[in-house]
Amino acid sequence: MITRILLAGLVSFVAGSLAGAQDLNAANAAFNARLNAAMNANQNAIVSQNLNDPRVQAAYRQHLEQGGRYTREQFAYMYAATGGFTPQGIAYFNATEARNNANEQAALNRLRQAQAERAQAQANLWAGYHRNNAEVGNLLQGNSTYTNPNTGSNYVLPHTLQAGQTYRDNAGNYFQTDARGNKYIYTNGWWLPLNAGR
């Protein structure tokens, strides 16, 4: 029963997290689509205006005569992007392209980092679920997990240990319980306290 409740809670949590992520992704996609449409419309208007500009038409003919390979649309775009192919315009265009490429790479790196962190969080969630599920199984069998704070080792001990009673596990470790229910492990001639839980 407890396992079913824990499983139902986990499924509900994961489903809610996925639904929230999908809503955020859909909103982000819609925003990006509107932004791209506006940018493309603006770019198309500039290219169209340049295609009809006699100065740009004359420059394009000269471009072709000199062996250039741009299409009319590409030339009209680059003419606008470089300020008429001026040295300052070309330098500004190249610097802007380099900055945009660097920003895109940085954004991609941040996205990959976020994806790795999400995957790790999800793995931790599942690992925690499995640990909790295992502990529920221990509890149903009359046992609990205790941890040695010095070594980090875990031990599954029965609830039925009485104060002063010594218990030996399959690995040959000795354990005792005091009058308050605290558990101890015998190590190198000393009884060292254990922490409840993992």
Q: What is the pLDDT of residue 22?
A: 64
Put simply, whether the predicted model's pTM sits higher than 0.95 gets the answer no
Nearest to 132, CA basis, from 60, 198, 78, 191: 198
Task: Read off the pLDDT band of 7 (50, 70, 90).
Answer: very low
23-63 residue pLDDT tens: 777 888 888 888 788 888 888 888 888 888 899 899 999 99
- Cβ atoms of residues 176 and 186 within 8 Å: yes
Angle at 97 (CA atoms; ends 92, 102), nearest 5 degrees:
125
Q: Read off the pLDDT of each residue in 144-171 and give the average, rounded to a whole number.
A: 87
110-132 residue pLDDT tens: 999 999 999 999 999 998 888 88
Domains of the chain, by residue range, sit at: 2-137, 144-196
Residues of the chain with pLDDT > 70: what percent?
A: 88
